[in-house]
Amino acid sequence: MKVNKWIILPAIAGVITVGSVAMADDDVKKAKVETNAQVEHKGTEATGYLTKEKAIELALAKADGQVTEISLDEDDNRVHYDIEIKDDKYEYELDLDAITGEIFEFEKNRDDHAKAASGATTPSGKANPDSSKEQTAAKTSNLISEKEAIAIALKAAPGTLTEVELDDDHKYEIEIKDGKIKYELSINAKTGAIDEFEKEIDDND
């Protein structure tokens, strides 16, 4: 009988061990299922990316207006949000790093549709050229000349001038290129100060 007891006890121990392993395996599977479910619900937060709401908040701090488009994209192994913002006069395009929140590209363009809509018209509905000339004359008085603005811009960003425009906010919007480097400057036409300065690599060249 003693021999039988020694045979039975290891058998029982084996059952307990196998049962423990099976229970542990079930716990691991359950944990994996819960983790996958959490990832699905967390979305961008689970990958370490900023949420769209946070990206919009950072973008609007740079360019006030209404967000018209936002998408998550990846270029050169850098995941970022492409964001477009519009106000009454301008369109803004921003590339915002989805992890750090850094705005590494920023473009400000005149909204030609808004500009056309705000132009003076005659009773017949046609644009009034005389009114436009009067407005232009009034705006350009006591402002630095285009030549002076270009000189200021080229001193800050040596290169070839590719674009210059005086907008309704009394600012010269100037673009300069130096090889693959593109500079965009906004110069205050009243004071000559550089209000905005952007430098980026132009991969199109």
Task: Give the residue carrying structure tokens 């919007």.
Answer: 173
Nearest in space to 133 (alpha carbons), one of 120, 115, 118: 120
Domain ranges of the chain: 2-45, 49-118, 129-205
For residue 203, the model assigns a pLDDT of 73
Give the DSSP letter string of 4-37: HHHHHHHHHHHHHHHHHHHHHHHHHHHHHHHHHH
CATH for 129-205, options being 3.40.50.2300, 3.10.450.40, 3.40.50.720, 3.40.50.300: 3.10.450.40
Contact 159, 176 (CB under 8 A): yes
For residue 150, the model assigns a pLDDT of 93
Q: What is the number of H-type helices and E-type strands within the chain? A: 5, 8
pTM for the whole thing? 0.39
Are domains 49-118 and 129-205 of this chain identical in fold? yes
Nearest in space to 187 (alpha carbons), one of 176, 179, 196: 196
Nearest in space to 174 (alpha carbons), one of 194, 191, 153: 153
Would you give the DSSP letter of residue 119?
S
Which residues, given as ranges, of the chain have pLDDT below 50?
A: 1, 3, 5-8, 11-24, 28-43, 120-125, 127, 130-131, 133-139
For residue 43, the model assigns a pLDDT of 47
Name the token pair of 157.
Answer: 């960003």
Q: Which helix (H) or strand (E) holds 186?
A: strand 181-188
For residue 201, the model assigns a pLDDT of 86
The CATH number that domain 49-118 falls under is 3.10.450.40
User: pLDDT tens across 38-95, in order?
Assistant: 433 344 555 789 999 999 999 999 998 899 999 999 988 899 999 999 998 899 999 9
